[in-house]
Chains A and B, each alone.
Chain A
């Protein structure tokens, strides 16, 4: 055991190869089936993003060895891990509510992993102290978890997971347990620590902002399957399911394009700036929608639909109107405009969208 690679269970036998995570996770649980292919290069941060019940946490547990795979495979740095029990996997986990051992100090929590992986008491503590120091928690080493703030506990949990020098770091909703204000700060810190981490990191979240800030690549999971995969900006601009479109605040439609016209399954048409043919998605932000009480004349907008207000809700200093009719639309308008138009559920409205505000891309 050298200074360079302390702790950790003996790494891959063919230690030279360093090709990150190559997994196909299949877990059957009653009527639910998780089927998620997942690969990541060392140094990459991948976010599994999806609604509650999509199977994200199951995927994470399968990676950690806490839930057995029903099929597929799991390789890390070229080493098969399918049958390896959790305690022998070079995997570190930051759990959703951290699960710091309440009877141990912050230092002993972090030293727990190195101790279990064979380090002596003194050595484990020295290493743990170094990790706490790196997390800016040198002054809190003797503190029990219940005396730590949410942000501090999160960093101790991260230090505890990293202290075993994992080749795969798993984070389950790492920011969910924090209040809004701490969250912002912790998110920035976590981003920095993840950027420094040289192995694979996989985080699970239902919060698109967390995913987009923290991850290099998003894997969107719905109903146990991958529905979209890509860089955060790619996914934000080209959502492929309603769930992601809602998350990133876009109206999303699927249809067939012929030139500048996209015909939806419902029969409605959208005029787009792009010229495409075949199956496409069309997206535009709610802010691009203009509402009119009477049918507008002489408008430059190429898209005009007759709709009815289904619901109104306040979004910050704006009002989000949900429209039904020709096609379901979310529209944002100011409270003043909403008052002027005398909007109320059931009220008929005309919605216009400029073709240049829409964005069409192949499905």
Chain B
């Protein structure tokens, strides 16, 4: 036999359990931390499955409280995503396609909620839209609209936290998109808005979808801003994450069951949209 070479097939022991590891040539100082990181990410999820009260699960999940919280979560996350799309896509267009003084500052402000602790976001929302907030006071006085501690408040809190994900994703897609298609549309008689609607938007649809999913997932898991701005009222503002946290205090089994539901929803969304994306692109 020839002397073994680091990457030669001669070093691959047939049938051994570690077959393939030498062949990949991954240095140990990279492989070990990588495996540790993977384990760290997977282990808690595994624990959730291991400790799940499988026998009492059907009973837990059919309780009206769970359904109430789940439905509220889905409605609010979806509404927050829709709201983000309506205002976030134009905002992304503005950032990507126009040049105005202070654009860098605007962009920084848009991204701020990404790094801001959600609780702080909730406090800020209260100060702006609360009953005594700088805007909320007028909403209350003129229209009789009160946002804190309502379902609408949940949607606003989730939008505040989730929309930056959408804006950043869509802006990146817009920047990468070939602007000359818009010019081609213009030479064919399309106004800038028509060019956006009929050419740009279809072209960046995968990016918009990706941003929407990110925003939706972020909204679904939103906790801090929601509990601060909208409180924790079952059926009105108590979304799944709040329900999980509350249940953990007095009924751990229920908390695990609720967590499993959220996990399942997340996995389903990820799997469902992955197929759609790969088909689309």
Contacts and interface: CB of A to CB of B under 8 A. Distances in A.
Given A102-B203, A103-B203, A112 B188 contact: yes
B189 A99 contact: no
Interface stretch (A12-20, A90-98, A175-183, A264-272): A90-98
Given A102-B203, A103-B202, A103-B203, A116 B188 contact: yes
Interface in A109-125: 112-113, 116-117
A9 interface: yes
Interface residues of B, number: 17
B186 A66 contact: yes
A87 B203 contact: no
Interface of A is mostly: mixed
B190 interface: yes
Nearest to A89: B187
A113 B188 contact: yes
B191 A99 contact: no
A201 to B, nearest CB: 15
Interface string B173-206: 0000010110111111111001000110011000
Contact of A92 (B185, B187, B198): B187
Interface residues of A, number: 24
Nearest to B195: A87
Contact of A117 (B189, B198, B199): B189
A9 B190 CA distance: 11
A279 interface: no
Nearest to A92: B187
Interface string B195-230: 000110011000000000000000000000000000
A64 interface: yes
A224 B75 CA distance: 60
Nearest to A85: B186
A164 B184 contact: no
B188 A95 contact: no
B238 to A, nearest CB: 42
A91 B187 contact: yes
Given A103-B202, A112-B198, A86 B186 contact: yes
B181 A87 contact: no
Given A102-B203, A103-B202, A112-B198, A87 B183 contact: no
Contacts of B187: 64-66, 86-87, 89, 91-93, 161
A112 B185 CA distance: 8
A62 to B, nearest CB: 13
A101 B191 contact: no
Given A87-B191, A112-B198, A101 B186 contact: no
Given A103-B202, A112-B198, A95 B184 contact: yes
Nearest to A98: B184
A123 to B, nearest CB: 14
A99 B194 contact: no
Contacts of A64: 183, 187
Interface of B: 178, 180-181, 183-191, 194, 198-199, 202-203
Top 6 A-B pairs, shortest CB-CB distance: A116-B189, A113-B188, A99-B184, A103-B202, A86-B186, A117-B189
9 contacts: A64-B183, A65-B186, A86-B186, A87-B186, A99-B178, A112-B188, A112-B198, A116-B185, A160-B188
Given A65-B187, A101-B181, A116-B188, 17 more contacts: A64-B183, A64-B187, A66-B183, A66-B187, A87-B191, A92-B187, A99-B180, A99-B183, A102-B203, A103-B203, A112-B188, A112-B190, A112-B198, A116-B191, A116-B194, A160-B188, A164-B188
